[in-house]
Every structure is written in structure tokens, then in C-alpha cells.
Amino acid sequence: MAITETTPVTYDPFSWEIQHNPYPTYERLREEAPVYHSEKHGFWALSRHADVLAASLAPLTFVSSHGVTLEGVEQGQPLLILKDPPEHEWHRKVVSRVFTPRYVASLEPYIRQVACELLDGLRDREVFDVIEEFSVQLPLRVAAELLGIPEDHRQPIHEASDRLVDRDDDGKPTDDAMAAQIELVALMYELVTEHRRNPSDGVFDLLVNSPVVDDEGNEELLSDEELAIRFQELAFAGHETVARLIPNGVVALTWTPDARRRLVADPSLVPAAVEETLRWDAPSHYQGRWSTEATEWHGVTIPADQRVILITGAANHDPRVYDHAERFDLDRRNDRPLSFGFGVHLCLGANLARMETKVAFEELLARFPEWELEESGIVRLRTGNVRGLAHLPIRPVRTTDPTR
């Protein structure tokens, strides 16, 4: 049925239309239904930047313990992202020791080394898949190095992570996605057992030996199950986000060749390109929450005990904050971008993801200043709240410069 001005806006995060291009629907949500209710899937949604920000800063009103996906199948698991204050703060303090600014900065030489190795192996290729041969491998190797994951575990972890986000046409996790979750935890539990037998000075031992301290001063070390879950979170979030963010940036720079040429001429603009990619098409488009009390937004009441999703992908295109929001603009001032969440649940690995993407753009553009997309080979993921491509083949345009 054709959409007319009188047709009520419909938002189904699992529909192919939304998976392919959600932005026209986001625009209608912000303007026509900033407080949206889906009877089909049983959720409420906020889409304006100010509203998403306000809800993100109210973690006791919009809690995470009921699950952060629309399906909520992860509810009850000992995941850090599912913990609410004050327990969340105790556990976050432990994991945050992994991502100090100094430690993240110290990883840049290794990140660059890996990026160079991967891209140098693609120099003579007429066509290569940016995702399978670069954007997946880079953060996977960095996460593996960070966590001390042995070589034989790395590819199985990536494959299980990819399967983990698979959804059917009704938005429910497929049987294979559920199996992948079990496999991933089993892989991580195996790593915990191995690290227990052979301790080192790495991230694992930092987590093992750092007690969780509550507000009353009680100390408790993480159990093996909790350590396995922390490993899963760090490994999955540590590579899946960057694996999708880099190709989203490649698409943006394909569609805006002037921006790409500016980056080639002036690599100091690359951090701005990373931030604009995060705003323009982030790997995560919504965060699930649960309302603990009734709240009113724009004259509409969201009742207590309801699934609520904060559509950060829509908020990052809100014209109330961003002029010409659909445009990829290296000169944009990104004011309070919400791509990594906000408030107490701001992504712990955000700075590492930025660093990996910055290095990826710098090294990719240094070797391949121009490219074309192989449209016939592009495949989009069909998932819940992870937005990105599964395959993105590109054809480098060769130059006469022998250093390229």
C-alpha cells in the first residue's frame, strides 16, 4: 500500500524496509509520532534526540535488567550491560580498568601493524571484500590480543558472534542464533579455565584479581561464569561494532567523493570522519530499556512495566540538533552523539572502537585513495539492533603513484 500523508507511520525494526533504509521512517517518527507504540511487537519508542538523551540519563526509570534488545531474550544473564545502578557501577569499575585512555593509546602501534598487514595483502587484488578481509579481521585480532585469545579460538568466536545476531522475519532469534550464544559462552568458559591453569599479566588476570566492591564495602571476586560472560561481552562488542562501522564509513566516502579526497589530502581530518560515520550510520540503532514508572512525553504516557526502545539512529539524524542531517559532513560539529549510548551505559570500549576505525581509515585511504563498489556483491545483515553489511566488495581504482 502506498504511503500517503494520512497513513499513520508504522515502525517495525525487523522489516526489510527498515533494515535496508530506516531513515525515512525515522523522520516520520520524530515529526508525527515521537512517542510511538507498537502493538505488534509490544514496545514503545522514543526517536527525538532530546528524548533519547533524557531517557538515557534516567537509568532507574528506564532500566536495562529486562534486556537491551527488543526481544529481551538475554534477560537474566549476568551481562554488565543488563545491570542497573548501583550494582552496575560496582561491576563497571572492574571492567573500566581494561579501557583506560593510556592503555587504549598504547594499543595504537599494534592496531596499525595489524591494519597494515591486512591491507598490504590486498594491494594487488582487483576486488576484495572490505568486511571479510579487513574490517572483521582487524578488531578481531585486536580483541584477541587484548584478551589473550589463542589463534584457534578467534575465527570460531567471529563466526558465533555473526550468528548470534541473526533474526527471523518476526524478529525472534533463530535456532542457530540461540545455538551460537551457547557456543560462544562455552568458548569463553574454556578460555577462563585455560587462564586459570596458566595465569599471566594480561586483561584476564586483571579481571580475576579485581574484586567487585559494593556500597557497603563488601568485596567479591567474579565467578568463572561471570568471567566467561565478561569475556564474551568484550570479545563480541570489541569486534562486532568496528566490523560494521568501517564499511559504513566506506559507503559514506563512496557516496561523498569530495570528503574522501579531502581525507586523502589531509589525514588530520580522519577523526572527524570517524565521528561523522558514527552519527551518519552507526552499527547500533536502538537500545532496549524497561519502564519502572509511568512517564509523560509530548502529551503521551508511557506506562510502567513496558518495553521501551531508544532509537539512537533516529536521534542522530534529528534536525533539531543536526542541520542537513542526511548529509555526510566532515565539518559538522557532532554535539552529544548517541551512537555509543549515553549516561551510565556509555560503551566502555568507545575509545578503542574510535581508535581502530581511525587507523583503519588512515591506512585504507593511504593505499586505496579511490575505489568503486561492486554493487552485485553487497549483502546486508538481517539482525535486530545491529545495523551493517555482511559483504562489501570494492574495486580499487589504480593510480600511477608507485607508493599507493
Transcribe 187-250 into DSSP letters.
HHHHHHHHHHHS--SSHHHHHHH--EE-TT--EEPPPHHHHHHHHHHHHHHHHHHHHHHHHHHH
For the stretch 241-268, pLDDT in tens is: 899 999 999 999 999 999 999 999 999 9
Report the C-alpha gap between 283 and 277 in whole angstroms.
Answer: 10
Task: Give the pLDDT of residue 101.
Answer: 84
Mean pLDDT confidence for 168-183: 75
SS3 60: coil
User: For residue 391, what pLDDT is reported?
Assistant: 95
For residues 132 and 93, the model is more confident at 132
- 222, HSE (Cβ side, Cα atoms, 13 Å): 27
| pLDDT tens-digit readout, 75-103 | 777 777 778 787 777 667 777 777 788 88
Phi, psi (5° rounding) for residue 331?
-95, 5
110-149 in b/e form (b: 16+ CB < 10 A) is ebbebbeebbeebeeeeebbbbebbbbbbbbbbbbbbbbb
| Residues 35, 298 contacting (CB under 8 angstroms) | yes
Burial 163-185 (b: 16+ CB within 10 A, else e): bbbbbeeebebeeebeebbebbb
- The pLDDT confidence band at residue 165, using thresholds 50, 70 and 90, is low
Residue 149 has a pLDDT of 78
pLDDT at 186: 84
Kindly state the cell numbers that stand for 234. 568484550
pTM: 0.86
Lowest mean per-residue pLDDT among 44-48, 143-147, 214-218: 214-218
When comparing pLDDT for 41 and 82, which is higher? 41
Other Cβ atoms less than 10 A from the Cβ of 376: the count is: 6
Check whether 213 has a pLDDT greater than 70.
Answer: no
Q: What CA–CA distance (Å, rounded) separates 28 from 357?
A: 31
* pLDDT value of residue 5: 54
Distance CA 289, CA 46 (A): 11
Cell of 210: 579485581
- What is the C-alpha to C-alpha distance for residues 127 and 130, in angstroms, rounded to an integer? 9
**Domain residue extents for the chain:** 16-74+101-146+240-396
pLDDT in tens, 309-326: 999 999 999 999 999 999
Residues 6+ apart with CB under 8 A from 127: 374, 377, 393, 394, 395
Rounded Cα distance between 357 and 108, Å, is: 11
CA distance 352 to 77: 25
Determine the pLDDT at residue 1.
40
Grid cell digits, residue 24: 525515512
For the residues 327-343, what does the mean pLDDT come to? 88
Q: How far apart are CA 283 and CA 248, in angstroms?
A: 8
Output the CA torsion sign for 322, 327, 328, 332.
Answer: negative
Q: Which residue has the higher pLDDT, 5 or 214?
A: 214
Calculate the average pLDDT of the chain. Answer: 86
CATH fold for the domain made of 16-74+101-146+240-396 = Cytochrome p450 (1.10.630)
**Is 66 a residue whose pLDDT tops 80?**
yes
Q: Which residue has the higher pLDDT, 281 or 178?
A: 281
Q: Is 76 left (phi over 0), alpha (psi -120 to 50) or beta?
A: left
Identify the bridge partners of residue 379 per DSSP, sorted by sequence position. 391
Q: Where are the alpha helices (DSSP H) in 97-223?
A: 101-106, 108-120, 130, 137-147, 151-164, 175-197, 203-209
Average pLDDT over residues 200-225: 72
